[in-house]
Amino acid sequence: DAGITQSPRHKVTETGTPVTLRCHQTENHRYMYWYRQDPGHGLRLIHYSYGVKDTDKGEVSDGYSVSRSKTEDFLLTLESATSSQTSVYFCAISESLGVNTEAFFGQGTRLTVV
């Protein structure tokens, strides 16, 4: 199994509060991703990173920010959580962006915003 650790695994937070999710990898892969998983939508890309301090927006980036100060850590922040951000969040990593390249996933963080 790829060495990807997400924390926390579960979180309940109140609307309007800031929340940070952490993804830590031990594979030294250059590319890291944050996805959200919602029923009927599969996985949708929030943000991704192609190196330290290099990030870009994905399909559903509004309301989220990310940071990557070290190769192994990729943080996802909800500045002011809303109920629509209740979801399961997955971190993924890949060695490259090549079309043949698979992604490896963490175990997910279940976030509930009440």
Partner 1 sequence: GDSVTQMEGPVTLSEEAFLTINCTYTATGYPSLFWYVQYPGEGLQLLLKATKADDKGSNKGFEATYRKETTSFHLEKGSVQVSDSAVYFCALRGNNNDMRFGAGTRLTVKP
* Share of the chain residues as helix, strand and coil, in percent rounded to the nearest 5: 5, 55, 40
Q: Which residues of 43-76 are buried (b: 16+ CB within 10 A; e: fewer)?
A: bebbbbbeeeeebeebebbeebebbbeeebebbb
Hey, which residues between 12 and 71 contact partner 1 (CB under 8 A)?
A: 33, 35, 40-45, 58
Segment near partner 1 (CB under 8 A), from 22-30, 61-69, 70-78, 100-108? Answer: 100-108
Residue in 27, 71, 95, 108 binding partner 1, rule: CB under 8 A: 108
The answer to whether 114 contacts partner 1 (rule: CB under 8 A) is no
Residues that bind partner 1 (CB under 8 A): 4, 33, 35, 40-45, 58, 90, 92, 97-108
